[in-house]
Amino acid sequence: MPFTKKPTFEQFRHTLIASGKPIPEKEIVPIQAAMVALLDSIPDLLVQKTRRQGHKDTLIEVSSSWVGLDADHRTTVATFKKHWPGSVFEGAEELWTIERHEESVVLQFAAQYPNDRYLTGKVLVTF
């Protein structure tokens, strides 16, 4: 559940992808639902779309908008640091990182599951 800097996260994700396989689709569905439930619990965030990708570095992608009155990157990052990941990746070792871009914030995550399985993804927040 730890937040980490991007180089550490990238190395973790690269190692997972190189040495494992994505978790089965039937296991992704409840995790994706738990992610949406967690994101929906943040009052200033509106989840717009979730989808599963075929890319190994982003198996789940969530698009959302920040609808809070304080539309500031720092507020968004602080909110994610407070709430993410909750119990979404229960039983898995996971790392995540969050970066500010021009008009958005991107949270990337990677989780390692038993039997060399993994899950990766990102949450895009626009203002």
Q: What are the pLDDT digits (tens) for 103-115?
A: 899 999 999 999 9
- pTM of the shown model: 0.94
Spatial contact of 60 and 29, defined as CB atoms under 8 Å apart: no
Fold of 6-126: Beta Polymerase; domain 2 (3.30.460)
Average pLDDT value for residue range 49-72: 93
Which pLDDT score, from 0 to 100, does residue 1 have?
52
Q: Where are the domains of the chain?
A: 6-126
4 vs 25: CA distance, rounded Å: 27
Assign 62 a pLDDT band (cuts: 50, 70, 90).
very high
**Exposure pattern of 55-66 as b/e (b: 16+ CB <10 Å)?**
eeebbbbbbbbb
Query: Where is pLDDT greater, at 70 or 60?
Result: 60
10 Å Cβ neighbour count for 104?
17
